[in-house]
């Protein structure tokens, strides 16, 4: 899933279109409350997805899959 949801926790724009980027920046600057709320939501999403506990759980799962595959190959 996408980390950034357009206008929910950030703004998605084409990186190759400076006019659209400028328009998005101007829009954010003119809507302070909305910008702050999107910032809070964005930070919350990042903290949820990339916290230490989540990272460790994902790494342990990867290691387990590797070990399971190795053990399966040894039994053949």
Q: Across the 76 residues of the chain, what is the mean pLDDT of every consecutive 10-residue run?
A: 91 96 96 97 93 93 95 82
In the prediction, which pLDDT does 59 show?
96
Tokens of 12: 């998605």
How far is 68 from 75, CA to CA, in rounded Å?
11
Q: Could you list the residue range(s) of the whole structural domain that residue 30 is in?
A: 18-74
**pLDDT given at position 1:** 63
Asked whether residue 8 is domain-assigned, the answer is no
Instruction: Tally the domains of the chain.
Output: 1
Distance of CA 64 to the CA centre of its chain: 24
- Asked whether residue 10 is assigned to any structural domain, the reply reads no
- Token pair 């003119």 is found at 30
Angle, helices 18-30/32-49, rounded to nearest 10 degrees: 110
Tokens describing residue 41 = 């939501």
């Amino acid at each position: 899933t996408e980390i950034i949801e357009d206008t929910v926790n950030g703004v998605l724009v084409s990186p190759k279109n400076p006019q659209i980027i400028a328009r998005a920046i101007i829009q954010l600057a003119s809507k302070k409350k909305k910008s702050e709320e999107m910032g809070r939501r964005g930070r919350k999403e990042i903290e949820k997805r990339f916290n230490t506990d989540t990272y460790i759980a994902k790494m342990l799962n990867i290691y387990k899959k590797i070990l399971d595959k190795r053990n399966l190959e040894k039994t053949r």
